Chains A and B, each alone.
Chain A
Amino acid sequence: MVIAIGNAKGGTGKSTLLLLLASYLSEKKEKIFLISMEEKGTLNLLFERSKILEHELPMEYFTCDLSHARLLISRLAEEKGAIILLEFPSLLYDENMVHLFAAPDLLICPFCYDTPTLNASIYFACFARRIKKGIPLLFLPNRVISNASYEFREETDQVLRQIAPVSPCIFEHIGFQRISSMNLDPRLLKRCAPLLELIYSQYLPLRGNISIHKP
């Protein structure tokens, strides 16, 4: 199974969310492969730190460029029962991205409620749907400040639901800013566990009830 996380705009919390998901799924005794396609991305930086600190990671981590991603995914998919987590690059203008959009069984698009990120997220989703019409998509509101009021949030969610389902949000927390390696603070994982459980049980194909909206 392949789960991908992407957005046309950087800084939406893709890497953090992938790490959370990888750590959570590894607790479920799943074999996890984590692939980043950005050599100088956040995940690579965190991995380098973990390597220096000799952390025992609950997943196997790979970095590869876009041209080799398809081959790597097909090779790793041969492993029985493995879950492959992909971090899509923000730059979509690459023909290799077309093949990449065919891979995921679930594509998660984390977003924030600011206008530039919203526009980029909608564009990303539309681009994905243009390439693969029935791609299972999930919008995930990320970095939501708990005591702030977001104007037109309900209206925004309604528009997004016309494209794909919107999951409950992840609230901003100081713990996310303190992440310095791939070894996550268990308290952070515990804090996000309800949402990760929801994704695991409700949105992952072949795991539970598939309720992904296909317009």
Chain B
Amino acid sequence: MTNTGQFIFFLAILYLIYYSFNLLFDLFLSSRTYPKAEETSLLINISELEAPIDASLQETTADYGALQENEGVMSSGPISSTGGMRLEEVMNGALQDAAIFSSRIPS
């Protein structure tokens, strides 16, 4: 056997030992130290994320009430809306406007 052949043979033996050790380690040792993925999987409840957020700003309105008493600022009640409109409402409004104008055209 040539020097190259011997070298490849010993290298193959070395790799075999190394990977056998790794395989045995994964099979018997690592399974004990690390719990299964199912047990630790992160569960996120979407419904919790989508739960409505109370935008009434109770603390702020309480402070505002105190300010009103002290400094005489007028109040229109607690804030419970952004004042925004939904697209459906805009479209319905446009439909009503259009109906008014269209009715003025004789047919």
Contacts and interface: CB of A to CB of B under 8 A. Distances in A.
B107 A131 contact: no
Interface residues of B, number: 14
Interface string B86-100: 010011011101100
Given A115-B107, A152-B107, A155-B106, A122 B91 contact: no
Contacts of B91: 92-93, 127
A126 B105 contact: no
A126 B106 contact: no
Contacts of B94: 123, 126-127, 129-130
B102 interface: yes
Instruction: Give the secondary structure class of B's interface.
Output: helix
B105 A156 contact: yes
A163 interface: yes
Interface string B52-75: 000000000000000000000000
A92 B97 CA distance: 16
A127 B85 CA distance: 13
B104 interface: yes
Interface of B: 87, 90-91, 93-95, 97-98, 101-102, 104-107
Interface of A: 92-93, 95, 98, 115, 118-119, 122-123, 125-127, 129-131, 152, 155-156, 159-160, 162-163
Given A123-B95, A130-B94, 19 more contacts: A92-B91, A98-B87, A115-B107, A118-B105, A119-B102, A122-B101, A126-B93, A126-B97, A126-B98, A126-B101, A127-B90, A127-B94, A129-B94, A130-B90, A152-B105, A155-B106, A159-B101, A162-B104, A163-B101
